[in-house]
Structure 1
Amino acid sequence: MKIVILGSGNVAYHLAKAFKEKNIAVSQIFGRNENDLKEISEKFNIPFSTTELLDADFYLIAVNDDAVATISKQITKENCVVAHTSGSLPKEILEGKFRKASFYPLQTFSKSKELKYSEIPFFVEAENENDLKTLENLASKISENVMKSDYEKRKYIHLTAVFACNFVNHLFARAKEISDSQQIPFQYFLPLIKETTSKINTIDPKLAQTGPAIRNDEKILQLHEALINDEEHLKIYKVMNESIKKMYEL
């Protein structure tokens, strides 16, 4: 199967790397950012282009959601499969006479961070069983965790991921703002973060909750509120504590 990846960002980079590690040949990486394409090309020995899209059996679109439909129009071949990697878009967003699919890796990707690709869940969807099996086989060469998922289910998978990853990381960033404001090294909190995230491997998150809100410790809550000078931090603190209280009916 002749494969072309469209995109040069974090997801495209890691998929190219994962394919390379598993000896899955990629015929081309295509996009607009020549510098990023060149980096991927040189690291993983994949030809790149910003102008001429190669003929292929499978095109994998790994770009920002708002660019998926536009870049899909550049694929004019009809007898092929085109899949996007978005968790929040239906396969029907793809515009062309090709067979449409999705190939969604459930992970947060940064070029500078190494990943164990075998642990990443992949959710695949296609228009027919043959294409679905092809995508399952391809994903299974990378990951030990491959599942079918239609758009209705995938939307909720992505929503859950936003709560579990994006919101949590934002709280880390806000926490660092507070520690930085008091010249407290953020590294002091890394063991706490590690224990918090590792704990939910064996304990239901709801049962793992600790802190002043679940204890309904109003003195500590009020003390913390008095310490917070930043309006946004105070808003987050209050909203999060109210959410905890509601979950445990305190």
Structure 2
Amino acid sequence: MKTVILGSGNVAYHLAKAFTEKNIPIVQVFGRNEAALKEISSLFNIPHSTSVLADADLYLIAVKDDAVAIVSEEITKKDCLVAHTSGSLPKEILKGNYRKASFYPLQTFSKTKNLVYEEIPIFIESDDAGDLEILKNLAANITEKIVLSTYEKRKYLHLTAVFACNFVNHLYARAQQLADEQQIPFEYFWPLIEETTLKIKELPPKEAQTGPAVRNDLRILQLHEELISDENSLEIYRTMNQSIKKMYEL
């Protein structure tokens, strides 16, 4: 099956890498960023283009959400399957007379970070049983965690991912700011972060919660607020503690 990846960002990069490692041929990476396309092309020996879209049976659109509809108009072939990789868009966002689907890998992607692709769940959606099999067979080359989904379910998957990943990472960034201000190496906190992550594989997060808010330790909470000089960080600190207190009805 001829497959083209449209896009040159983090998701496109990792799809190209994952498929190449499993000897799944990609006939082209297509997009507008010549430099990024050349990087993918040279690393994984995949032809690239910014102007002429190759003929394929399957087109995977891995671009920012606000560009999916526009990029999908580049595909004029009718007898093909087109799937986007977004967690928050319906497959109907795709513009064309081709068959439409979604192929959503639930993971955070950075080009500089290696991933264990076998551990990544991929959520697929299509109205056609044959197309579902095509996507399942493709995903099976890189992971055993393949889940049939719907747009309604995928929206909540993506929302949950924002809480579990993007918000948590932002708190890491805020924590590092505090550490840097006091010249405390952030690496001191790595074992704590790792243990916190490992713990929720054995305990529900609600049961794993520790800290001054869940204990309703008002003295420490007040002390911490006095130590925070940045208004944004102080607002986050107060909001998080109120959320914790409310969850445990303190």
One-letter identity of the residue aligned with 2:187: Q
Query: Which residue is equivalent to 1:53?
Result: 53
Instruction: Report % sequence identity.
Output: 70
Asked if 1:226 is matched to 2:194, the reply is no
Distance 1:227 1:38 in 2: 48
Q: Find the residue that maps to 1:191 and give its secondary structure.
A: helix
Query: Which residue is equivalent to 2:153?
Result: 153
Query: Which residue is equivalent to 1:25?
Result: 25
Runs of 5+ unmatched residues, structure 2? none
Deviation at residue 127 of structure 1 after TM alignment: 2.3
Query: Which residue is equivalent to 1:215?
Result: 215
Asked if 1:118 is matched to 2:140, the reply is no
Deviation at residue 100 of structure 1 after TM alignment: 0.3
Distance 2:20 2:215 in 1: 50
Post-superposition Cα deviations, 1:91-128, rounded to whole Å, max 9, x if no partner, equal 00000000000000000000000000000000000120
Query: Which residue is equivalent to 1:81?
Result: 81
Query: Which residue is equivalent to 2:104?
Result: 104
Moved over 2 A (4+): none
Query: Which residue is equivalent to 1:205?
Result: 205
Q: Find the residue that maps to 1:213 and give its secondary structure.
A: helix
- State the TM-score, normalized to the length of structure 2: 1.00
Asked if 1:127 is matched to 2:127, the reply is yes
Post-superposition Cα deviations, 1:50-82, rounded to whole Å, max 9, x if no partner, equal 000011000000000000000000100000000
Q: Find the residue that maps to 1:55 and give its secondary structure.
A: coil
Deviation at residue 157 of structure 1 after TM alignment: 0.3
Distance 2:213 2:78 in 1: 57
Asked if 1:184 is matched to 2:184, the reply is yes
One-letter identity of the residue aligned with 2:221: L
Deviation at residue 160 of structure 1 after TM alignment: 0.3
Paired residues in the alignment total 250
Q: Find the residue that maps to 2:215 and give its secondary structure.
A: coil
- State the TM-score, normalized to the length of structure 1: 1.00
Distance 1:82 1:25 in 2: 17
Distance 1:220 1:144 in 2: 46
Query: Which residue is equivalent to 2:90?
Result: 90
Distance 1:118 1:189 in 2: 28
Distance 1:229 1:112 in 2: 33
One-letter identity of the residue aligned with 1:247: M
One-letter identity of the residue aligned with 1:212: P
Distance 2:151 2:108 in 1: 20
Post-superposition Cα deviations, 1:198-243, rounded to whole Å, max 9, x if no partner, equal 1111110000000000000000000000111100010000000000
Distance 1:206 1:78 in 2: 49
Runs of 5+ unmatched residues, structure 1? none
Deviation at residue 144 of structure 1 after TM alignment: 1.3
